[in-house]
Structure 1
Amino acid sequence: MSHLASWSEDLLHLQNDKGVDTIIHVNPPTDKYVRLSPEIEQYLQEQGESAQDLLRKGVIVPPPADPAHPLTHYFISSSHNTYLLSRQLLGQASALTYAHVLLRHARCVELDVWPGLVVTHGYTWSTSVPLQQVVETIGTSVREGSWPVFASLECHVSAEEQEELVKIMKECWGEKLLDAAVATEDGAHITPRELKGKILLMVEYCPEQTPPSDDIEEPPASDSSSSSDDEEEEEKEGATQPSAKEEVVQSEKDKTPPKISEKLARLGVYARSMKPSKGWFNMDFSEPANVMINISESALSSLAPTSHAALVEHAARHLRRVYPRGTRIESTNLNPIKFWSNGSHIAALNWQSYDRGTQLNEAMFVGTPGYVLKPPRLLPGTNWEEKPKKERMKWEVIGLSSLPAQSNLHVYIRAQLLHAGKTQEWRSKTIKCHDVSKRGHNADFMYNEEFSFEYDEDDLTFIRCACLVDENVSFRRDVRKAVFVARTEYLEEGLCMVRLLSPKGKDTGATLLVRISFETLE
């Protein structure tokens, strides 16, 4: 009997355990009681505002989905090592993770296929799952009319097993598997509209006599582990120097994979995945058609400072996927803004944790079908001489209600403006909440402070607002209790009730009352 017959309960458990509640920023639940502090209720009454109306109003309004543009005009939400439930080296694999991320509108998933036709993280101590189960799960999760899904195949099996792999995909996916180019009028670019309900396989392409290695551009190993100047503290802890055993694992992974059979190669209709050689960003690939650049985070980072315009222009013609460096053994994530800003379409992220990378990915794609149009400056015809306008965003932070607490807390708010440039920060005063246990509810705080950030109007700017417990101890990090992350372009103006999530992405029941405004500067 197929494993799908009994998966509903397991999937629900996985969603409850690993899912995040970011959708409440777009569509707040109306059937859940939200407690507000007496001070906030009084403030709203004085302002003539309805608490219930504010609680029903979304803070984030994503743009409408438009499927009529070429594929190269979109950012695409992507899951890396999709099959893993936890860390890279010792993780547990499950087919249900594919259903889980696809239901959350990931539109690119990864399959690492190894001898025996199993999906696993090769040369590690991770468990494996049969390819058949993974393919069945993907096929069931891709519905008619849903936006197209890329299946990124990392193939490590022989030509004989590739024959069986192709057979399994064709049998399980049927007409959902795109196995031939779609006819378009006058040779127009293919768009998501023509590909709805389809699965697009990414198949590796290795040019003759050209080593498939982006490590030609790779910085030294020390750079890989020291590139955390833009990494958050929680990521730095995970991005440790690899042990000798882990270095062996990575070197084994770097071995040349088996040659791709012609039958399998033909399925890479719109995504012939290529690890590029030196100078690739100045090349235009016409043969085979639809080359997708597949490059590591470290390699692309080394190019970005001096080749930004070339990278943007290349991404206007060819799809590009960037994947995490091999030393991210704790399933930490790259900073997707860094790669979206040079036009990269797919920033592959480990969805096993809710760190800064996945928070930003959720902020970009929540409430969308997993495809978001790039800003105009990243599309063909960009005028690089024209300076972007300046934008000022202002927040009035009024008060915080019902922060989960078991005892008295000293809490402050930290806001960060995250974009391709240097992070800007603001910190509120620290306020102590007294007698939490006696009052029988969580902690409340009134701030009545404001801050503003100025930035280029580039449409790739995000705000992260966190509530932290001030430990007031030099050797101990302050504890992040709740967080809210949004793309500034999606934010509603005016008085807003921001619902705060836990460090694992779950609704805490806490709300932050703020007033948001924007001003375009000359």
Structure 2
Amino acid sequence: MNLIPKKHISTVFQACHKRTIIALHKKGFTGKDIAASKIAPESTIYRIIRNFKERVSNCCEEGFRVPKKVQHAQGLSHKVDSAAGLGHHQCRACSGMAAGLQDDEHLQFLLKGSNLDKVKSNSWRKPRFFKLQDDCSTIWHESRKLRKVPSRQTFSIEDVQEVRLGRHSEGLQKYAKDVPEEQCFSIIFKGNRKNLDLIASSKEEASQWAEGLKKLIKFSNNMSNKQKLEHCIRKADTNFDNKMNFKELKHFLQEVNIKVDDLYAKKLFEKCDKSKSNMLEDSEIEEFYKLLTQREEIDVIFNKYAETEELMSTDDLLKFLQTEQHENVTVEKAHLLIEMYEPDDIAKSEKQMTKDGFLMYLQSEEGQIFNPAHNRVYQEMMHPLSHYFISSSHNTYLVQDQLKGASSTEAYIRALTRGCRCVELDCWDGPNGEPVIYHGYTLTSKILFKDVITTVKEYAFKSSPYPVILSLENHCTLEQQKVMARHLREILGDMLQTTPVSSKDSANLPSPEMLKGKILIKGKKLSKLEHNQGSNITHDVETVSEEDEAAEIEDESNTKLKLAHELSDVVVYCRSVHFPGFDNAKKNQTSFDISSFVESKALKLVQDSVALNFQTPCLQMDLYQGMFKENGLCGYVLKPKFLREGTSQFNPMCVTSGEWLQPKKLHVMIISGQQLPKVNQDKINSIVDPLVKVEIFGVPRDVQKAETHHLNNNGFNPMWNKTYVFDISVPQLAFIRFLVEDYDGSSFNDFVAQYTLPVTSIQNASSTFTRLWLPEWSEVASFILHPEVLQVLLDQLPAALLGVVEVLQTTALELTRHLLVVAMLNPTEAHGPLQG
């Protein structure tokens, strides 16, 4: 075989290898830095390396032998490539991160990477190289910014909410109209991070990326704690030798949020290093893993019922389920649990459960504090709409603040896919005769009304089949109101409900079941619906009173608005009216009236805004999400019977007697936590000092809270073993919130995570796992607790508990009280008003 001609050597070696070395040395890097993966990801260097490899490969394919000098350059490029995560490698973490996907064609494509066009605006569309790194959990992308922080060039699969193939983001709809839709896709992140809009070179390439990312997201969401730990161990193996030295051990401990002094870490390392080689490998790493994951609290429960130290028989498991979990189960059910959660094939075949299988069961849906039966629609859905609490969003179009933030169709997508069933559209005259949506009299950006309606049509029923209400805040002129009406009819088509479901019963509200797949318009109506149906209306417009909610900084106005007949005709069942006060609520309204609170009035009743913005994580939103967590997250929760009856005397300020008084004692034992997230992910040495607060919200007398002590520097496996008892009078309106904070002795504690659920959805159990959620409602960690709800007989209550409890003046309490008062306004008869 002939050597590569000198002209090839000159091109390949001089143009690539020499330039690479010079570029690296100019940046201050040495050969050791290359091997240690310390190279700053400068795109020019990476392009040189890729170009070099391609040319050498082409020369080899042409039959030329590669000289040693070029082989050395190629070897160096492989080291740089490995440091950058650019080469085509087998996924070294696949066994831990993506087991079963090692040979998947989509995964292999992502590991190889490809050039994609990144889109930001009409004038900003640039090619960037993207690839999946070897840990199978991180995507690296090229950047032309010379000073870009390396960590900003990557994102974790765990941070991705979803991947949308096609032009299904606002950015692609605006800036990629010239590209075939099948080449476009968007990566949607959790929280407030901006979408990543990308264009592939072909339909096949876009499909490879979209399908590969979806598989990784699905696997990441379903990873057990054990798999996550195994993944972190592999990630700590920075030199890829399948061994762990002491430095890598310390890196691993930081990764899983454990801070220990070097002396303790060294003792742990030496205890596992049986071979005395200063390296952990194979069985030594397994021993280290067992020491790290040993859960004393689980051992106590497991050993209490296991017939041997390591195995639990079917009878043992059955006894545990009946005694501790209060479940009425059969042997067949115990066998099914073993089949589902036992990872050891031998134990599974003998109908036994190991400690690992027992832990997996506790971490499953059946081991959660939230009653799994409430994860589906279990309530009666044939009551009138006014008998339900309806998940509603205020200023839905905003993704940021209400003065200068951005408006986006993405905000509607996020609200609807999280179960929201009533969204707000603040409509104003726009250019070219097209209505726009934005927060009036402010600097917020504007989006087209028709784009929002198109988005609603596509996403209205992805998470729930029950009706969606579009609440129109109409500030448009007559001409653009007609345009709005035309868009509603043309875009929504048969989805739009414009006539009563049944002409025989047009005076009564239909049920959510009857309106499945339908969209209702809440807005102004020219006259009573029952008088309009079937009659010939000769007037094109009628003047109605407008309550302007455009901007909270404006005084309430009483301007007059001309209402187009066409827009009035699409309003059925839900008519917006002025809110004259609580006393008038039951006297004069009809079943088609919805009364929305203006925040300036609401502030007279509460200390914080009653408007709940889905885009703003807060205590009020935690309670709201907790309320609608039950009934399958469908957006409709049936009110208690005493709030559905028109003759009800329920008063949240005095609940000493009545059918709502169902006293219970709630026992909660906070046992331990597991893999709590860092508050500051950018600081390597940042370790959380966790404490847990347990808060009860409901009628004023039920509001109470307790908290554990904080534990220093342990977010991995903190243990408290603290028991609290709460007396609850009206459990049907009570919520429990678990709040985890990072203790700060000199300032306010930092939020770590939270979980809120209705007290009536608590699953009685000896030990349950409770998932914790970040502000953007993404699952991040768990802790073990022991909840038990006990019925209390009225004659056993001390007299003091029957008295009126002093009202605590807190925002959360005031919000709860206000929601209860609003609930009272909804008559329980079928002809009662539907509250917005």
Pick the TM interval, shorter chain: 0.7 to 0.9
Residue 87 of structure 1 corresponds to 401
Distance 2:476 2:546 in 1: 17
Paired amino acid for 1:431: L
| 1:126 is aligned to 2:397 | no
2:329 is matched with none
From 559, 564, 575, the counterpart of 1:261: 564
User: Of the two structures, which has the highest relative contact order with CA contacts closer than 8 Å and spacing of 6 or more?
Assistant: 1
Partner of residue 425, structure 1: 705
| Amino acid aligned to 1:16 | K
Q: Which residue of 1 aligns with 2:244?
A: none
Cα distance, 1:420–1:298 mapped onto 2, change above 3 Å = farther
- Kindly state the Cα deviation for residue 201 of structure 1 after the two structures are TM-superposed: 0.3
CA deviations over 1:272-294 (Å, ceiling 9, x no partner): 111222542242324xx611122
Q: What's the CA shift for 1:86? A: 0.9
Q: Provide the C-alpha distance between the structure 1 equivalents of 2:605 and 2:363, rounded to a whole number of angstroms.
A: 45
In structure 1, C-alpha distance between the alignment counterparts of 2:777 and 2:488, rounded to whole Å: 34
Aligned to 1:358: 621
Deviation at 1:9, TM superposition (A): 9.7
Residue 251 of structure 1: CA displacement? 1.7
Q: Match of 1:195?
A: 515
The question of whether the paired residues in 1 share the 8 Å contact of 2:668 and 2:788 is answered with yes
Residues 214 and 275 in structure 1, CA contact (< 8 A), matched pair in contact too: no
Q: Distance in 2 between matches of 1:32 and 1:99?
A: 26
Label 1:303 to 1:358 Cα distance change in 2 as closer, same or farther (>3 A).
Answer: closer
State how 1:344-493 maps to structure 2 within 5 Å.
Answer: 348-366=611-629, 367-380=632-645, 381-382=647-648, 384=650, 386=658, 388-405=661-678, 406-421=685-700, 423-433=703-713, 442-473=715-746, 476-493=747-764
Give the direction of change, closer, same or farther, for the CA distance of 1:166–1:379 in structure 2 (3 Å limit): same
1:519 and 2:786 are equivalent in the alignment: no
Kept after mapping to 2: 8 A contact 1:111/1:151: yes
- When residues 29 and 373 of structure 1 are mapped into structure 2, their CA distance, relative to the original with a 3 A threshold, is farther
1:414·1:427 contact (CA, 8 Å) conserved in 2?
yes
Give the AA of the match of 1:128: K
Structure 1 residues 462 and 297: alpha-carbon distance in aligned structure 2, compared to 1, 3 A threshold: farther
Query: 1:409–1:266: structure 2 CA closer, same or farther, 3 Å change rule?
Result: closer
Counterpart CA distance in 1 for 2:560 and 2:168 is 33
Seen in structure 2, the aligned counterparts of structure 1 residues 139 and 457 have a Cα distance that, compared at 3 Å, is: same
Is 2:601 aligned against 1:299? Answer: yes
Q: How does 1:91-130 map to 2 (within 5 A)?
A: 91-116=405-430, 117-130=435-448
Percent sequence identity is 25
- 1:6 aligns to what SS in structure 2? coil
Which amino acid in structure 2 is aligned with residue 294 of structure 1?
A: S
Does 1:283 find its partner at 2:592?
A: no
For residues 143-180 of structure 1, what are the alpha-carbon distances to aligned partners after superposition, in whole Å with 9 as ceiling and x for unaligned?
49810000000011111111111011100001111111
SS in 1 for 2:442: coil
* 2:769 equivalent among 488, 497, 515: 497
Once the two structures are overlaid, the 10-residue window that deviates more, 275-284 or 4-13, is: 4-13
Q: Following the alignment from structure 1 to structure 2, what is the Cα–Cα distance between the partners of residues 479 and 352?
A: 20
Q: Is the 8 A contact 2:544 2:561 kept in 1?
A: no
**Partner SS, residue 140 of structure 1:** helix
Q: CA deviation at 1:4?
A: 10
Counterpart amino acid of 2:479? E
Give a deviation string over 1:223-253, Cα, whole Å, max 9, x none.
Answer: xxxxxxxxxxxxxxxxxxxxxxx9x972277
Change (3 A) 1:176 1:409: closer
Conservation of the 8 A alpha-carbon contact between 2:546 and 2:560: no
Query: 1: distance between equivalents of 2:436 and 2:382?
Result: 37
Measured in 2, the distance between the counterparts of 1:15 and 1:266 equals 39
Match of 1:151 in 2: 470
Q: 1:486 and 1:413, CA in 2 relative to 1: closer, same or farther beyond 3 A?
A: same
CA 212–156 in structure 1, closer or farther in 2 if over 3 Å, else same = closer
Letter in 2 for 1:400: G
After superposition, what is the alpha-carbon deviation per residue over 1:443-492, rounded to whole angstroms, capped at 9, x for unaligned?
A: 3211111001112134111111112222112xx10112121111111111
Counterpart residue identity of residue 31, structure 1: N
Structure 2 distance, partners of 1:12, 1:371, is: 30
Measured at CA, do residues 76 and 160 of structure 1 come closer, stay the same or move farther in structure 2, by a change above 3 Å? same
2:168 aligned residue? 7
Is the strand fraction higher in 1 or 2?
1
For 1:4 and 1:253, how far apart are their aligned partners in 2?
A: 44
Q: Alignment partner of 1:111: what SS?
A: strand
CA contact (8 A) 2:552 2:599 kept: no
Match of 1:165 in 2: 484
Q: Secondary structure at the match of 1:505?
A: coil
CA distance, structure 1, for counterparts of residue 545 and residue 385 of structure 2: 27
Are the structure 2 counterparts of residues 79 and 33 from structure 1 closer, same or farther at C-alpha, using a change threshold of 3 Å?
same
CA displacement 1:395-424 (0-9 Å, x = unmatched): 111111212244454322111101131530
Secondary structure of the structure 2 residue equivalent to 1:269: strand
Provide the rounded CA distance (Å) in 1 between the counterparts of 2:491 and 2:785: 50
Instruction: Please tell me whether the aligned partners of residues 411 and 615 of structure 2 are also in contact (alpha carbons under 8 angstroms).
Output: no
- Distance change (3 Å), C-alpha of 1:37 and 1:265: farther
For residues 8 and 127 of structure 1, the distance between their equivalents in structure 2, rounded to whole angstroms, comes to 16
Aligned to 1:137: 455
Are the equivalent residues in 2 in contact too, given 1:123–1:253 (CA < 8 A)? no
Unaligned runs of 5+ in 1: 20-27, 216-245, 305-324, 335-347, 437-441
User: In the alignment, which residue of structure 1 is the partner of 2:175?
Assistant: none
- Give 1:32's match in structure 2, choosing from 200, 223, 227: 223
Kindly tell me: are residues 257 and 191 of structure 1, through their superposed partners in 2, closer, same or farther at Cα, counting changes over 3 Å? same
Q: Does 1:177 align with 2:496?
A: yes
Once the 2 structures are TM-superposed, how far is the Cα of residue 133 of structure 1 from its aligned partner? 0.4
Query: C-alpha deviations, 1:279-328, integer Å up to 9, x for none?
Result: 42242324xx6111222356357579xxxxxxxxxxxxxxxxxxxx9xx7
2:544, 2:563 within 8 Å by CA — same for their partners in 1? Answer: no
Change (3 A) 1:154 1:397: same
Task: Give me the whole-angstrom Cα distance separating, in 2, the residues matched to 1:9 and 1:301.
Answer: 34
| Structure with greater Cα Rg | 2
2:524 to 177, 189, 204: 204
Q: CA deviation at 1:389?
A: 2.2
User: Residues of 2 paired with 1:514 and 1:12: CA distance?
Assistant: 39
Distance 1:379 1:12, change over 3 A: farther
Shift in alpha-carbon separation, 1:100–1:468, aligned structure 2, 3 A:
closer
Instruction: Look up the SS of the partner of 1:90 in the other structure.
Output: coil
